[in-house]
Structures are given as structure tokens and as C-alpha cells.
Amino acid sequence: MTKINVLLQKELIDPSRLKNCVVVIFDVLLATTTITTLLQYGAKKVIPVFNSHEALEVSKNLNLPQDSCILSGEKNGYSLNEFIYPCPLELLESNVDGKTVILSTTNGTVALKKSLGAPFVYASCLLNGQFVSQKLLQNYNEQSILLVCSGNHGCFSMEDFIGAGHFIHHLHKFSGTVFQLSDSAKAAVQFYEQCHEESLLKHFVTSHTGKLLTSLGYKPSIYHSVQRDIYNAVPILRTGEYPYLELESSL
């Protein structure tokens, strides 16, 4: 029986326990929503980094033409100097088709980097949860699944919890299989299934990150991120000198 567990913050990731499970990262406001959107609209790859220093180092070492690479990032919710804010709608204005995006965020890209010890790591959000869950059901139906809510500075994040619940909902919907859910996984899917459209948006807008994004003028990206299953992009993390996310497939 496939086991499903939900970690409520990235700080709970234990690298020694990643070897035999598939990991799915959620940072719904905004990193995994941004990654999904970028790849859906033709970005070549997204390189997650810990901070702006690493982003600049990677950019220098890759030595890509200036018009083929985009630096995007934030720290504690605020824009990094000379970086495009990691808001999906703002990045799309930069014409991402065929480009490499180096992405630095406070929570989501850190969670991705901390999960590199797992054999398979995916990025998911409400935009693509259905399609990532179907991919896991096709390829890894006997492996444990670890859903990681990136959280916010070591604290619980409502939108990531909702993202995990949405994901488990689709696993149930498409598999017909009985899963062994941890208590946190049960709570996530039960909470999600009790939400209706209006309450989902309210949870996003009134969350800590939602309030911050609204104050910074990025409220349209909250409305973008709360849409469900409109993108079939399946971002998978590839290893290498500079690990990166690319589009695994479209269903």
C-alpha cells in the first residue's frame, strides 16, 4: 500500500529519509506556481538556488547570452536588486519562451534544493496538481510519496497545505487505490475537500503571504495561483552541477 505523508514546512525535511520516496514540493505563493507557469509557457529550464549570491554565481558560470537568461528572486517577500520579482504574471511579460530562468526564493527553491537526495522530485501547485498526480500514479504507484509544504520562515503556510490536499484529492480520484495516509495527509485532503471556490480564494488572500503580495501590488498573481488544473506542465527536478527543473511531459 502506497504511503503518503505531508510535511508542513521545509525545515522538517530529513535527507536520510528521502532515498525511497517520490517528493512533491509545494510553494503555492509563489515559487512552484511560478515554475509551473514558466514551463507551461515555454521556458527551457528553471534553476532553483538558495540565494541571490548563488544565482549570480550560476549565471556567471553558465555564461549564457544575456537575452537567453533571466534572474528572478525575492528575499523575505521583497524584490532582490536587479532581479525580476518571481511573480508568474510579471515574468511572462519578459517573454520566457526558450529561456533559462535562475530562481531564488525564500522558501520554495530552498525546499527543492533540500530534496535533492530523493530519486524523483516534482514541483506542484493548484495550477497543475491533477497532472502531476496522474504522472505519479503512472510511474511510481508502489513508492512512498512525500508532499512537502515549503511553509513560510519555518511556519505553517495555509496555501501550501491546500495545495497538498488538492494533490491527494486527485490521487484518490484517478487511482481507485487505497493509500496509507499520515495524519497530516488526512487533514490536508479533508480540509481541501471542505473548501469551495470562494473560501479557497479567501484563504489565499488572507494568508500571511497573500497579504504581503497584496501590499506589494501582486494581488493578480494570487488570483492566478488559485486556479485549479488549468496547466498540464509537469516540472521535474534534474540533478547535475546545477540542478534544474524542466518539463517532463504533457498529458
Closest CA to 231 of 93, 88, 25: 88
Sites in the chain below the pLDDT cut of 50? 250-251
Is 29 within 8 Å of 208 (Cβ atoms)? no
Residues 13-66 pLDDT 10s: 999 999 999 999 999 999 999 999 999 999 999 999 999 999 999 999 999 998
Report the pLDDT value the prediction gives residue 175, as an integer from 0 to 100: 85
Residue 174: what pLDDT? 86
At the fourth CATH level, which superfamily is domain 3-240?
Answer: ComB-like (3.90.1560.10)
- pLDDT of amino acid 250: 47
CA proximity to 242, closest of 113, 118, 122, 84: 113
Cα angle value 7/26/162 (rounded, 5°): 80
Supply the pTM of this predicted model: 0.96
User: What is the structure's pLDDT at 177?
Assistant: 75
CA distance 58 to 47: 9
Domain range list for the chain:
3-240
